[in-house]
Amino acid sequence: MWAYDFMQKAILSGIIVATICGIVSVFVVLRRSAFAAHALSHMSLTGAALGMLLGFSAILGQLVVNLIAALAMGFLGDKVKKNDLAIGVVLTFVLGLGAYFLFLFQNNYSGGVLSILFGNILTVSKDQISLLIALSLGILFILSICARPLLFASIDPTLAEAKNLPTRLLSIIFFCILAITVSMACQIVGALLIFVLLIIPGAIAGLWCDGFYKSILVSVLIANISVFVSLCVAYQFNLPTSFCITTLMSAIYAISYIKNLLSKS
């Protein structure tokens, strides 16, 4: 298994994406931005379809569309949390555009659509890995600057505003980070299953840890172990990798949730 070039690329790209998703997942859970992540993941379909229609790579199209949507969400600030209807309307419109782009692409997109919807980590190229590394370094650099104020604004936005923190700017930064992470994760689990990497690691960490940095560490470990084990299982039993990741992480969450209930009883 380790001798195959495509498996080496899959493992490397999986580690990169799982690490970033593990970090961002904690912020998504803290900010209760699950629906925003869900919306951005589905908007990735439109971005990928637009990219393919114009002759660009799918991930480039995803980045452009997701960043535009993220900027709009960020400017709305806290209203995003309180107005799911607005996100739903935007999501519906963008998905409608995606269906139109796919229609224009006619019958040559069926394989590409499946890859966008469910991901295909085994087909990741060297160029895609280079892009994933560049995007990951960009996200880590931004978080190294604004992680503490972003954490403060996520836990208590009212107090953060009273302390004159730039909450709207932090909201814009967060949604841009989320948009980039969604575009990266789509290469692994696809647009339909993006929740598994952007929600579950942070949710599991919340059940096991109290501190922020411990939660980050546990979330990253859970995401990386799940991706690595799933790749091995998928290779051995000829199963879809995204299915293995989803099943394994859901099982870990179920076990953690039961453990948490038993510890309280």
Q: What is the mean pLDDT of the chain?
A: 82
pLDDT band at 19; cut points 50, 70, 90: very high
Top pLDDT among 251 and 265 is at: 251
Residue 120 reports pLDDT greater than 80: no
Instruction: Give pLDDT tens digits for 180-235.
Output: 998 888 767 776 667 788 899 999 999 998 888 899 999 999 999 999 999 899 88
Report the candidate in 230, 253, 247, 252 with the shortest Cα–Cα distance to residue 122: 230
What is the rounded average pLDDT of the residues 60-64?
86
Q: 249 near 200, Cβ under 8 Å?
A: yes
- Which structure tokens are listed for 154? 């996520």
State in Å, rounded, how far the first CA of the chain is from the last one. 45
Domains located in the chain, CATH noted: 5-193 (1.10.3470.10)
pLDDT, one tens digit per residue, over 223-256 is 999 999 998 998 888 888 888 888 999 999 999 9
What phi, psi does 262 have (nearest 5°)? -65, -35
d(CA 51, CA 28): 27
**Under 8 Å between Cβ of 139 and 181:** yes
CB 46 within 8 A of CB 58: no
DSSP state string for the chain: -TT-HHHHHHHHHHHHHHHHHHHHHHHHHHTT-HHHHHHHHHHHHHHHHHHHHTTS-HHHHHHHHHHHHHHHHHHHTTHHHH-HHHHHHHHHHHHHHHHHHHHHTGGG-HHHHHHHHH--GGG--HHHHHHHHHHHHHHHHHHHHHHHHHHHHHH-HHHHHHTT--HHHHHHHHHHHHHHHHHHHTTTT-STTTHHHHTHHHHHHHHH--SHHHHHHHHHHHHHHHHHHHHHHHHHHT--HHHHHHHHHHHHHHHHHHHHHHHH-
Question: Residue 169 and residue 66: Cα distance in Å, rounded?
Answer: 17
| Torsion sign (Cα): 174, 175, 177, 182 | positive
Q: How confident is the model at residue 164 (pLDDT cuts 50, 70, 90)?
A: confident
* Amino acid in the structure at residue 24: V
**Contacting residues for 263 by C-beta, under 8 A, at least 6 apart:** none
Q: How deeply is 106 buried, as exposed, middle or buried, from its count of CB atoms within 10 A (0-12, 13-18, 19+)?
A: exposed
Residues 27 and 150 sit within 8 Å (Cβ to Cβ): yes
Tell me what pLDDT residue 118 has: 61
**pLDDT tier, 22 (very low <50, low <70, confident <90, very high otherwise):** very high
Kindly calculate the radius of gyration of the chain based on its CA atoms and give it in whole angstroms: 18
What is the value of pTM for the model shown? 0.86
